[in-house]
Amino acid sequence: MRQTKLDCKVLDNWEGLEIELPSHVQQRFNRCNLTADILGSLAYQKHPVPLQIVGTADLHHRLFKHLDTIKKKRLRAEYFQDYMTVHFTLEAPEEAGYTPGSRYQRIKTDYRRILRGWLFNPDGREAAVIKGWVLSRFGLLPRWHDGVLDDCHSPAYQKYLQMQANGLYNTNALESQLDMVYAYCQYELKKRFPGQIHWMLYRGVNTVDQYEILAKGPKGRHVVLLNNLNSFTEDRDRADEFGDYIMEMEIPFYKVFCYNALFPGLLKGEEEVMVVGGLYDVRICTV
């Protein structure tokens, strides 16, 4: 990450705070029911409403109707993965137009490999694919990927675009697969936390000024512009292991893309939760 280049306000009165999402970190169009300036705002963090990727619920309504009949979480996860295998012909790539012997053998790259890749390296090729997916679906531009992404003409940005293109090349509807991961994550969160709309999450950081901070207030409160996708944990003690400071945030469930326990046995990590970015009111405290 990097130290902010944005103007930072120091405020004593934190109530009624109004800070808009900067225009240069959002794009005008997305595939969501809310625009980027709304879903990336502080107001959305405090008063969230469901986010829906256009077409996903309508196309796969029978899947979620059937999942309602399955009581055990593990069995629902198994059924979902079986559905993904069949719907996207993951075990029969030739049915999706794959030609054996082609130069770039990447047809086995699917949502599972992308998720594992993020856990292994959030600045890698698979992570670039997910950050590109967040931009396409929610309209939030990435701020960091193995370097600052302030300038679309910079070497860092060009490298990010190349990694994203390489990650998508010769794959089978990979972004649509990620749409389904998000939809299934939202389905399971409703069952895990009935009636709730926020999740207290934590992130360990080494220095506070490595983030884009737009305002500072009393008792460690900050308004922070996060990358368009970020790793958090639901275990505060685990966050202690990753830095001298801890960011505490109430995340709207609707901005959670995936979490480790969503697919038992598939993802292994530090109780990681993948969170869509934007502006957040956070509390930063020492370990």
Q: What is the pLDDT of residues 121-173, one digit of tens each?
A: 999 999 999 999 999 999 999 999 999 998 989 999 999 999 999 999 888 89
DSSP SS3 for 143: coil
Contact 276, 255 (CB under 8 A): yes
Residue 43, in any domain of the structure? yes
The answer, yes or no, to whether residue 203 has pLDDT greater than 60, is: yes
**pLDDT tens digits for range 31-55:** 999 999 999 999 999 999 999 999 9
Within a domain: residue 21?
Answer: yes
> Is 213 in contact with 222 (CB distance < 8 Å)?
yes
Type of residue numbered 76: R
In a domain, 2, yes or no: no
Confidence of residue 99 (pLDDT cuts 50, 70, 90): low
A 10 A CB-CB count for 193 gives 12
In a domain, 1, yes or no: no
The answer to whether residue 265 sits within a structural domain is yes
The number of folded domains in the chain is: 1
Report the alpha-carbon distance of residue 279 to residue 215 in Å, rounded. Answer: 11
On whether the pTM is more than 0.85, the answer is yes
Q: Is residue 18 part of a domain?
A: yes
Query: What local confidence, expressed as pLDDT, does residue 17 receive?
Result: 76
Say if 119 falls within a structural domain: yes
Sign of CA dihedral 135, 26, 245, 251: negative
What domain range includes position 112?
A: 9-286
